[in-house]
Structure 1
Amino acid sequence: MNKRFLAAGASVAAAAMVLTACTPPGGGDDNENSSEGSVLNIGWNEAFRSMNTQTTNGNAVSNSIVTYMMNDNFGFYDDELKVQDGALGSIEQVSEDPLKVKYTFNDDAKWSDGTPVNAADLALTWAATSSHFNTVKSNANEDGTLKENSSDTVYFDSSVVSRQLIEDFPEMSDDGKSITFTYTKPFADWKLAFGIGPDGVGVPAHIVGKKALGVDDPAKAKDAIITALKDEDTEKLSKISNTWNTGFDFTSMPKDEDLLVHNGPYKMTDYKEGQYLTLTLDENYTGPKKPKVETVTIRYNGDPMAMVQAIENGEVDFTQPQATADVLSAAEELEGVTVDSADGATYEHVDFTFDNGGPFDPETYGGDEEKANQVRTAFMKTVPRQDIVDKIIKPLNPDAVVRDSYNQVPGSPMYDEIVKGSGIDGFEDVDIDGAKKLLEEAGADAPTVRIMYDNTNSRRQQEVQLIKESAEKAGFKIKDVGDVNWGSRLGDGTYDASLFGWQSESTGITDSDSNYRTGSQNNFGGYSDEKTDKILDKILVAPEDKQAELSTKLEKQLVDDAFGIPIFQHPSLVIHRDTLKNASTTTVSPTIFWNYWEWEVN
């Protein structure tokens, strides 16, 4: 899947609370040894906001951890990043030329209202994420928020490049039990294209049909969705896309139970805005997953030290907070608590904005691309990456190193080859004199750079201060525009450099496509380069023996264009009370939730 989640470690609580002041249903000391009545409390730093994890707003780990427990899938990643078979059904390649991939649903795959999970659900997901049915390229207000489609426009708020390779309407069996997609060209990650991990098959098509088209009967509602897609009925697709875009967004327990329809073992039973969300085993679930914990409550707080306090007080059993030296030290002092630390999946990076009239935008220099590139490169030369790692990360992980790849984790098979050939080694050390020279050549006198980040995050506060001190030595003026609501500002043009983390939901080579491709979902800085797009096209269809070479070309282009700069791999802390058995994590979303059915509370 060509998408990355805003990282859990980079997220912020929608409304922080003092954990000791509020005990939601299922909390306290009611834990029992048996499955019946067992309760697990998990601490998380950002609140849930959408059941649709494939929209721009829904694309966040805070949502995926919930939808993962509420919905089955065709496959998931284990703690060794191996894809295991999911509970929904099977995936098979039925033709190599052209590439055809068939998804077959199990007989017991049902939505919680009894409606079968079937081909119509996956067809809607393909249609909504392929961009094929959009009649406009964007539907955003000036502040970046989403407009509602008018009766003569269609815009689904998602774009997955791999799904654009499926141009023909998929073939669906008469009974709806299978759906076959035909690709226009080979696709390297076809096994990962749909249904792997938290997204599942997406939101239920019959609920979309009910809300958008007023069709109450589930089977007829699905038929209405398929007919509208096949007929390319703009008026109906406008309503369908509006519902798909925002109809599944909510920040507290919805009165409309249709929004909670799911196909997995857990159902949502309570949600107090910004405080906690409770999931309970669904007694009507007939699928193969059999979790051992009856009730899971996710408690929200953006303060990692508050999470450690909650663990100590017995209000939280399991958490994966933002890792700092203080958090690690405090957690290690607790009795009856296990603390595991290692490299996580998230990596820190600085990205630039190319299209906002700021210091990194060519339009600021009369359209002179070279001058804008010089200013961006100058800033990259001032980012004190090694200093950040030494002062902030090594106290947590003594083996931590500067990350020199945009797309590969240090130690991965392609990492050394990419780093050697990308030119990133030119930024190994801070080069103030080099930065000054570039600014002088560009005629950029004391350019102001607005840095946007989560200003409630102590680690990022330290990073920004170190960057500020270094950049100002070269002549930049740094303006702190940090914001607790940083995530909602991504792409709105009100900043010139952003500091946050990416966490992948896939190991596929095409996973980073949407970060760099012109106009793609995660390309928040407006970066657009024809050479990069062509390299990405080749990566989509790359055979295994060409993947390292093409990945190196991609990263060299990003370095040459001064896209931004990677800094470090986030250290990961997994903290849990010893009463919880089988606690684990994996380095893709949904991290510590990956094996929820194995959890046991003693």
Structure 2
Amino acid sequence: MNKRYLGIGAGLAAAAMVLSACTPPGGDGGGDGEGEGGGEGGSSVLNVGWNEAFRSMNTETTNGNAVANAIVTYLMNENFKYYDDNLELQDGNLGTVEQVSEDPLQVKYTFADDATWSDGTPVDAADIVLHWAAKSQKYNTESAEDVAEDRDDEGEVTEQDEGSVFFDSASPGSALIEEFPEISEDGSEVTFTYSRPFADWEIELGLGADGIGLPAHIVAKQALGEEDPAAAKQAVLDAFEGEDSEALSEIANTWNTGFNFTSMPEDEDLLVHTGPYKMTDFAEGQYLTLEADENYTGPTEVGVDQVTYRINGDPMASVQAVENGEMDLIQPQSTSDVLSAAEELEGVTVETEDGATYEHVDLMFDNGGPFDPESYGGDEETAKLVRQAFLKTVPREQIIDTLITPLNPEAQIRNSYTMVAGSPMYDGIVEANGMEEQYPGADVEGAAELLEEAGVDSPTVRFLYDDTNSRREQQFTLIQEQAEEAGFDIVNEGDVNWGSRMGDGTYDASLFGWQSTTTGVTESDANFRTDQQNNFGGFSNEEVDGLYDELQVETDPAQQEEILAEVEAILVEEAFGVTLFQHPELTIYSDRVQNVSSTTVSPTMFWNYWDWQVS
């Protein structure tokens, strides 16, 4: 067994779904003959384990925005840009991105000559226009609040009425592109004009697993019944340029849910892709198989003929599968038992890393609970004192020492809402935001004094978390003990379906994790701006909103850091919540696999799949 401790590494989704294991085609990955790795006349096979099932080809929707989807779409599609394991932005094979004007900001996308969908249709303007328009919210006639009641139990937006348009996505950058873009005659060049400067213009469209998004000609075929690819693409462009609400309503409905599936679809159009791998098999809740596409004509050369990703939410079972030769490469959520079991394996490398996901506690501001000013007749100061008191009780250091350090000796408390330790802006922001001083952890006496100052006796706090996750259960217990000692009454709202309850007002505090998808400075906008997609607690602050307006147009890194430091200082003072730690992650792989690497943004260990080799 080889063991390595790394500082920064792969990230997982915050909570794993418990799914049954199964042995898919490809066998144990170690024998001879067809379907096994390496032998003469055979094909190379890599069996990868993951903790959650794929469910959508569209990673831009609320339902589709998950690492389990991104790792598949990343292998199936080319992109304009991607991150390497040092978080450095690299050029993809789909084409080029360049700033052609600074004032106004204009960004031109030029598609490579060999950029082609797997059905032979060129990748061009219609595809990137659909990608931009869906994220911009420019064409929506319904708001997210309007359709909130129309979501099903899985969070999917149900079909909207004829003429109603709602694309289930949002991006501050795309929203700054208010005009229909300039398109070259052959559709290979598209120039977008921003209404004002935007710091993250280089990664707004065509990044990583999101790539270019869905194939516009297939969307139009499904939505509008247009069979001819060229005519279908033109129909998409005409619908957006002409703001045809009837056509856009159908396009939006297809874009929102038409590419969601949990087993191998009968309609092969849903599997049209731009990259070197194609989906060939998908058994619900068990495994998904990708094979090198013999018709792919792009420049990406892959070293593995078949990648089968097995779905298993039990990390110990995944380690056992590696030992049995049923899995070659896994990235399970780390616990001391999992790490110990992995370290005992022979012929296996174990990498212990800080991941992309960070743990945090957030509070509710608008649900009539103990942290809402309305509970005190609109008294903002009283509510803030109660929030500050509760956050002072969170035993941050104890949580790290008890649960995380045994897994990663280099683990440390995270003291920033927006930056990971080791990133260029982290130290400066931490020095300025005051979190470490305001909420050092387990300050029971200080919390009790704040409750007394607020004149609030034994406030009840309903605490939401995933009670099927043992580490979260332990964190809750530690938090509960300290908070009750300070005078709070803590109600255990542990729920396996915690995710579907986010923002519904039935709880007062929550414990979960966020995973980064980019290094963009504007990424946190969705978490802290008023009414944004990830602002589940109803936090609203005009100064923070204004600072994010400034951040969007600021291109100087020093000024970006200063703005984010101001945002974080407000979040600390207003007691938005408190950060805890980067998730300790494990990458475990058999010695038969070469060139495994990982990065701290989605799609984690899949980022350099073209380098994989199996012996």
Scaled to the shorter chain, the TM-score interval is: over 0.9
Asked if 2 retains the 8 angstrom alpha-carbon contact of 1:527 and 1:563, the reply is: yes
Spell out, residue by residue over 1:376-424, the C-alpha distance to the aligned partner (whole angstroms, 9 max, x if none).
2111111100000000010011121111101111232222221121121
Task: Give distance in 1, aligned partners of 2:459 and 2:164.
Answer: 41
Task: Give distance in 1, aligned partners of 2:400 and 2:343.
Answer: 22
Query: Does 1:510 pair with 2:522?
Result: yes
Asked if 1 retains the 8 angstrom alpha-carbon contact of 2:275 and 2:298, the reply is: yes
Please identify, of 368-377 and 379-388, the stretch whose mean Cα deviation from structure 2 is larger: 368-377
Q: State the shift of 1:143 in Å.
A: 7.0
Asked if 2 retains the 8 angstrom alpha-carbon contact of 1:517 and 1:536, the reply is: yes
Query: Does 1:306 pair with 2:317?
Result: yes
2:562 to 530, 549, 560: 549
Asked if 2 retains the 8 angstrom alpha-carbon contact of 1:7 and 1:502, the reply is: no
- Three-state SS of the structure 2 residue aligned to 1:8 is coil
Query: Does 1:532 pair with 2:535?
Result: no
Task: Give distance in 2, aligned partners of 1:415 and 1:201.
Answer: 31
Task: Give distance in 1, aligned partners of 2:405 and 2:586.
Answer: 14
Query: How do residues 232-251 of structure 1 correspond to structure 2 at under 5 angstroms?
Result: 232-251=243-262
2:82 to 57, 76, 82: 76
Task: Give distance in 2, aligned partners of 1:147 and 1:249.
Answer: 12
Task: Give distance in 1, aligned partners of 2:319 and 2:311.
Answer: 13
Q: State the shift of 1:434 in Å.
A: 2.4
Query: Does 1:498 pair with 2:510?
Result: yes
One-letter code of the match for 2:334?
Answer: A
Give 1:109's aligned residue: 115
Asked if 1 retains the 8 angstrom alpha-carbon contact of 2:12 and 2:585, the reply is: no
Query: How do residues 404-483 of structure 1 correspond to structure 2 at under 5 angstroms?
Result: 404-424=415-435, 425-483=437-495
- Three-state SS of the structure 2 residue aligned to 1:250 is coil
Asked if 1 retains the 8 angstrom alpha-carbon contact of 2:11 and 2:600, the reply is: no
Spell out, residue by residue over 1:272-327, the C-alpha distance to the aligned partner (whole angstroms, 9 max, x if none).
11211111111111111111111111111122111111111111100111011211
Query: Does 1:27 pair with 2:27?
Result: yes
- Three-state SS of the structure 2 residue aligned to 1:141 is helix
Spell out, residue by residue over 1:429-465, the C-alpha distance to the aligned partner (whole angstroms, 9 max, x if none).
3222222233344444333322222222211111111
- Three-state SS of the structure 2 residue aligned to 1:569 is strand
Superposition TM-score, scaled by structure 2 size? 0.93
Give 2:148's aligned residue: 140
Spell out, residue by residue over 1:466-491, the C-alpha distance to the aligned partner (whole angstroms, 9 max, x if none).
11111111222222222333333333
2:601 to 572, 575, 588: 588
CA shift in 2, pair 1:489/1:265, >3 Å: farther
How many residues of Structure 1 are paired with residues of Structure 2 in the alignment? 593
Q: State the shift of 1:350 in Å.
A: 1.0
Asked if 2 retains the 8 angstrom alpha-carbon contact of 1:353 and 1:493, the reply is: yes
Query: How do residues 191-210 of structure 1 correspond to structure 2 at under 5 angstroms?
Result: 191-210=202-221
Query: How do residues 273-352 of structure 1 correspond to structure 2 at under 5 angstroms?
Result: 273-352=284-363
CA shift in 2, pair 1:492/1:208, >3 Å: farther
Q: State the shift of 1:134 in Å.
A: 1.1
Asked if 2 retains the 8 angstrom alpha-carbon contact of 1:73 and 1:196, the reply is: yes
One-letter code of the match for 2:583?
Answer: H
Asked if 2 retains the 8 angstrom alpha-carbon contact of 1:27 and 1:39, the reply is: no
Task: Give distance in 1, aligned partners of 2:43 and 2:501.
Answer: 42
Q: Which runs of 4+ in 1 moved over 4 A?
A: none
- Three-state SS of the structure 1 residue aligned to 2:417 is coil
Asked if 1 retains the 8 angstrom alpha-carbon contact of 2:151 and 2:158, the reply is: no
Q: State the shift of 1:81 in Å.
A: 1.0
Query: How do residues 247-266 of structure 1 correspond to structure 2 at under 5 angstroms?
Result: 247-266=258-277
Asked if 1 retains the 8 angstrom alpha-carbon contact of 2:357 and 2:583, the reply is: yes
CA shift in 2, pair 1:463/1:172, >3 Å: same
Give 2:73's aligned residue: 67
CA shift in 2, pair 1:505/1:598, >3 Å: same
- Three-state SS of the structure 2 residue aligned to 1:156 is coil
CA shift in 2, pair 1:443/1:155, >3 Å: farther
Please identify, of 342-351 and 53-62, the stretch whose mean Cα deviation from structure 2 is larger: 342-351
Task: Give distance in 2, aligned partners of 1:555 and 1:38.
Answer: 49
Give 2:15's aligned residue: 11
Task: Give distance in 1, aligned partners of 2:500 and 2:132.
Answer: 25
- Three-state SS of the structure 2 residue aligned to 1:574 is strand
Where structure 2 has 5 or more consecutive residues not aligned to the other structure, the ranges are: 1-9
CA shift in 2, pair 1:230/1:142, >3 Å: closer
Spell out, residue by residue over 1:337-363, the C-alpha distance to the aligned partner (whole angstroms, 9 max, x if none).
001112222211111222233222233
- Three-state SS of the structure 2 residue aligned to 1:327 is helix
Asked if 2 retains the 8 angstrom alpha-carbon contact of 1:115 and 1:218, the reply is: yes
Please identify, of 147-156 and 232-241, the stretch whose mean Cα deviation from structure 2 is larger: 147-156
- Three-state SS of the structure 1 residue aligned to 2:148 is coil
Task: Give distance in 1, aligned partners of 2:48 and 2:588.
Answer: 10
- Three-state SS of the structure 2 residue aligned to 1:52 is coil
One-letter code of the match for 2:24?
Answer: P
Q: State the shift of 1:7 in Å.
A: 6.2
One-letter code of the match for 1:106?
Answer: A
One-letter code of the match for 1:422?
Answer: N
Asked if 2 retains the 8 angstrom alpha-carbon contact of 1:93 and 1:99, the reply is: yes
Task: Give distance in 2, aligned partners of 1:482 and 1:272.
Answer: 31
Query: Does 1:127 pair with 2:133?
Result: yes
Give 1:3's aligned residue: none
One-letter code of the match for 2:15?
Answer: S
Query: Does 1:561 pair with 2:558?
Result: no
One-letter code of the match for 1:141?
Answer: E
Asked if 2 retains the 8 angstrom alpha-carbon contact of 1:281 and 1:295, the reply is: yes
One-letter code of the match for 1:77?
Answer: Y
Give 2:281's aligned residue: 270
Spell out, residue by residue over 1:535-591, the C-alpha distance to the aligned partner (whole angstroms, 9 max, x if none).
111111112231221111010011122111100111221100000000110111111
Task: Give distance in 2, aligned partners of 1:324 and 1:527.
Answer: 33
One-letter code of the match for 1:11?
Answer: A
Spell out, residue by residue over 1:490-525, the C-alpha distance to the aligned partner (whole angstroms, 9 max, x if none).
333332222121111111111211111122222222
Query: Does 1:39 pair with 2:39?
Result: no
Task: Give distance in 1, aligned partners of 2:398 and 2:150.
Answer: 38
Give 2:587's aligned residue: 574
Asked if 1 retains the 8 angstrom alpha-carbon contact of 2:55 and 2:69, the reply is: yes
- Three-state SS of the structure 2 residue aligned to 1:269 is strand
Asked if 2 retains the 8 angstrom alpha-carbon contact of 1:91 and 1:101, the reply is: yes
Asked if 1 retains the 8 angstrom alpha-carbon contact of 2:178 and 2:194, the reply is: yes
One-letter code of the match for 1:61?
Answer: V
Where structure 1 has 5 or more consecutive residues not aligned to the other structure, the ranges are: 1-5
Please identify, of 402-411 and 387-396, the stretch whose mean Cα deviation from structure 2 is larger: 402-411
Task: Give distance in 1, aligned partners of 2:258 and 2:453.
Answer: 51
Asked if 2 retains the 8 angstrom alpha-carbon contact of 1:9 and 1:321, the reply is: no
Task: Give distance in 2, aligned partners of 1:27 and 1:521.
Answer: 42
